[in-house]
Amino acid sequence: MFVYLSCVVLLLVGIYCVAVKKNLIKIIIGIGIMEYAVNLFLVILGYRQGGTAPIIQPGAANPILVDPLPQALVLTAIVIGLATTAMMVAIAMRIYNCYGTFDITKIRKLKG
Amino acid sequence: MLELNLLLVFMVVGAIIAVENHNLLSSVIAVGAVGFGLCVVFLLLGAPDLAITQLVVEILALVILIRATIAKTVPETYKGRELLAYGVTIIFVLVFGAFSYFALKYLPEFGAPLMKVSKTYLEEGLKKTGALNLVAAIILDFRGYDTLGEASILFTAVIGTLAILRLKGRKQEKETDELDS
Amino acid sequence: MSLIVKTVTRVTIGIIFLFGGYIVAHGHLTPGGGFAGGVILALAYVLYVLAYGEKETRERLSMKWASIIESLGGLLFLFLAVLGLAGGYFFLNVLPKGTPGDIFSAGIIPLCNLAIMFKVGAGLFAVFLVLVTFRVAARKEEEE
Amino acid sequence: MINFLPMFVAVPLGAAFLMPLLYKIDRRLTDLLGNLTTFYLLAASLALYFFLPADHLMIYRVGGWAPPVGIILVLDGLSHFLLLTVNLIAALATLYSISYMNLYTSRGKYYTLFMLMVAGMNGVVLTGDLFNLFVFLEIAAIASYALVAFGCESEELEASFKYLVMGSVASTLVLFGIALLYGLTGTLNMADIARSLPANAGAARALITVLFLMGFGMKSAMVPFHAWLPDAHPSAPAPISAMLSGVLIKALGVYALVRILFNVLGMTPQLSYILMVLGTLSLLGGVLLAIGQWDLKRLLAYHSISQIGYVILGIGLATPLGIMGGLFHLFNHALFKSLLFLNAGSVEYRVGTRELKEMGGLAKKMPVTWATSLMASLSISGLPPFNGFWSKLFIILACVQAGRLWFALAAVIGSLLTLASFLKVQKYAFFERLPSRLEAVKEAPWIMGAAMIVLAGLCLSVGILFPYLITFLVNPAAAAVLNGTGYSRLILGGL
């Protein structure tokens, strides 16, 4: 239970950061933390007591292997995270170039 | 698993530091520490594939983030905290946390997943695909279609980044007319 | 950057490349795979940019070629997927599986890893290069 | 023949990978490839109609793996309906882009991102696997973030950042929901999840529902989660606005939500009520915010929120008539909202502004744009004989039939307000006095005109021939939704 809950706490720290912080880089960091939390959660879901990595050693006795499917999913999720981070940094850099700041309270040109 | 719990606490603390720190560069470094913590957790939980990927991705993301923040040591401004936004967020976070406490009880115990589908992968993965690394067998054979999507996402992000960082987005008025007539 | 940094970089980049290639080639046997290997190759180029500057890197691998390699990697991956249609299904692993444990085994998996490596390596290199170039170009604009 | 199905994803992906190479040879080739691809997809999704078996169901095993071990593609009534909608609008939007993209640089990247977006949407609509749905959703979403910022002006970058942040939060919540489902059931196949979700897991089921509601609610811009849409949709180039408002929010938001709530988690009366309330809030909130706008595209964007509200209200009723009306409205909205955005684009192309106050008297100068926009305005306001009238009528009738009179009243009020705001658009943009500054304005290029005329013709003909459309297209889709968790038996059969 503790491990599951700590993932949720990590997710909530990320949500809090995105919702409250006023700095573009802080928002990027918040989203990064949320992604870590979900990736961690998936891998924890796939862990088996006393399990080893899901790589078969030819000839060796059959050990307990952990669930490989969540790992495959997380691999994809990591790539998606990298992709969004790259996009966000690119946009943030352009915005910095236009306004000279990362503070969203100063760059809000669009009306609500 | 004491070391796992310790690492989880370390990650949560690191994340809070990253969120609440007033210096951007320190925040970025703190979130990097969380990422490396995650990498060690992956190793502990029997996911070396993910550990390697997380490690290299973390390095790349850090390099990119540091390049974006360095030489722009604008301290965060804390004028005009919006109390409403704070209040709503904190209420949401508390409700969500409490709610998930009850929901997570229904999950199988930590360390005993259901493995409904994965049993097939473990038992027949090697025979059917010929790959010793079962994660590779899943991402490139059983669920290769996902990986095609994954590769396309990265491609999208690369093209998107290149598109966003063009120096000039719109053509000048004159060029339009020439092309149009 | 100083001469020491440049020399050390020149030596380490070779090792990094070798390691990246190893990770990719053994993706179906040991942890790693096309994605991790591709990022490692991109990181080698990032190191090169950091040590030698953006201009000199462009002479090694220009933006144009990075983009072409990326597209070709994507097309190769898609081709391998469509190749499965020969056996009746999209993404069917049609190639012979070989003996488990060999480098040339597991059918299309190593080839897919290779395609992903090209794609990811070239793509991330292009992203990094354009992020750096954008800063340079933006600074020039400010100075004018 | 069945190998047709993966081509809906593989062909646009291949076109996207080829595009940067072609751009280096000749930039006009990208126009050609883009249009060939989308028209091929349109033709294929129409042709699919003739190959469908009587029960409207096709299942494709990717890689030959049987579900739930591998990923399956599922083409049922609902998927086919969405597939046709997506590819129809995509084809007309690419046609329009040939001329319109003269305003922007770097055509190759534009078409690459466009193709990726189409591939992502087709993938979402066709997949039968929950994680695969997430992956393709992200392709379409990331392509759309980049396309919103395509002009690289400061407002566009800001809008895109806002969209990107909300979109990423939504995606993360969705992924968390998928992870919870995997933990509970040990499988990712949607039909298999529906079958093996434990019935007594009350709190977990509720948390998953809330996560999906928030995640897909953000993607479809329902009212409490709508903040990004009025910035993002107007900022994009006009054909992209048409795609975003016309199909993206539906394929990624409404479709995914409906598929998961109805076919995987199973509908409950409480959930149905929540959806109806959210729908009504969106339809009234969107239109009230729209009336005060003076930026043409922004006004249209607020109307998208409102029209999505109608769709959600209809589907939320969970009665046969309601679902049919909601889905029919989804199709109609795709037609007239993309037409309106294309109209706004051609006005912007010639006049160079989106401010209604700076326009006037364009009816004489741009007759095609005016005539088509008039038809679209009548259609969105729900006047007979246009298509919008029928679908709104069905939704209102369904509300009355279910005894939800207040919701019916809200739908009628929303429709009247829509009419008012479009009268304002017509008055300020196309009637009134022509400012002397705009004397030299010409009609939009013929390719743009052709795309608009086709859409306007579709609005009218769907309005007149609607019984056929409903029998052939909407009813099978509604049947798939109404089937509920019977979906799993249908897909997995005796497995």
* Domain that residue A81 falls in: 2-48+66-99
Residue D352 CB contacts under 8 Å (≥ 6 apart), including other chains: none
User: Which chain C residues are within 8 Å of D126, Cβ to Cβ?
Assistant: none
Show residues of chain D in contact with C126, CB under 8 Å: none
SS3 D403: coil
Number of domains present in the structure of chain A? 1
- pLDDT value at C141 more than 80: no
Measured between alpha carbons, how far is D314 from D331 in angstroms, rounded to an integer?
13
Distance of CA D243 to the CA centre of its chain: 7
pLDDT band at B174, cuts 50/70/90?
very low
What are B170's strand-pairing partners? D104
- The beta-strand segments (E) located in D328-383 are none
Mapped onto helix, strand or coil, the DSSP state of residue D189 is: strand
Alpha helices in chain A (DSSP H): 2-20, 24-45, 68-99
Dihedral angle of Cα B65, B16, B55, C10, to the nearest 10 degrees:
40
- Give the containing element (helix H, strand E) for D419: helix D405-425
**pTM for this model (two decimals):** 0.93
Task: Write the CA distances from D41 to B50, B69, D8, D76, D86, integer angstroms.
Answer: 37, 44, 7, 17, 10
Q: Given the cut 0.90, state whether the ipTM is greater than it.
A: yes
- Measured in angstroms, the CA of C112 and the nearest CA of chain B are apart by 7
Q: Residue D26, Cβ neighbours under 10 Å: how many?
A: 10
Cβ(C47)–Cβ(C26) below 8 Å: no
Residue type, D400: V
Query: What band does D305 get if pLDDT is binned at 50, 70 and 90?
Result: very high
Chain D residues in contact with C91 (beta carbon < 8 A): 6, 62-63
Task: Tell if the CB–CB gap between A11 and D176 is shorter than 8 Å.
Answer: yes
Which tokens is B1 given? 């698993």
Determine, for residues C91 and B148 on separate chains, whether the beta-carbon distance falls below 8 Å: yes
Write the pLDDT tens digit of every residue in B5-56. 899 999 999 999 988 888 888 888 899 999 999 999 998 888 888 898 899 8
Q: Express as a percent the part of chain D with pLDDT over 70.
A: 99
* Token pair 């930590």 in the structure block, residue: B110
In chain C, where are the structural domains located? 3-143
Long-range contacts of D48-56 (CB under 8 A, 24+ apart): D48/D4, D48/D75, D48/D80, D48/D83, D49/D80, D49/D472, D51/D1, D51/D4, D52/D80, D56/D80, D56/D476, D56/D479, D56/D480
Q: Which tens digit of pLDDT belongs to each residue from B73-124? A: 555 555 555 777 788 888 988 998 888 888 888 888 887 888 888 888 888 8
CA gap B31, A33 in Å, rounded: 8
In this complex, which of B64, B129, B151 lies closest to C97 when CB atoms are compared?
Answer: B129
Of C64, C68, C92, the CB nearest to D63: C92
Q: What amino acid is encoded at D194 in this protein?
A: A
Report the residue of A7, A11, A28, A38 to disrupt the D interface, i.e. the one with the largest count of D CBs within 10 Å.
A38
Predicted local distance difference test score (pLDDT) of residue D437: 79
Chain D residue closest to B147 (CA)?
Answer: D135
Contact state of C32 with B131 under an 8 Å Cβ cutoff? no
Cβ atoms < 10 Å from Cβ of D43: 12
- pLDDT exceeds 50 at position B181: no
| Whether the predicted pLDDT of D10 surpasses 80 | yes
* φ and ψ of A55, to 5 deg: -125, 120
Please say whether the beta carbons of D194 and D264 come within 8 A.
Answer: yes
The number of C-alpha atoms within 13 Å of D431 and in the hemisphere containing its C-beta is 7
Q: Is B127 on the interface with D (CB under 8 A)?
A: no
Report the 3 state secondary structure along D14-52.
HHHHHHHHHHHHCHHHHHHHHHHHHHHHHHHHHHHHHHC
Q: Which residue has the tokens 């509970």?
A: D184
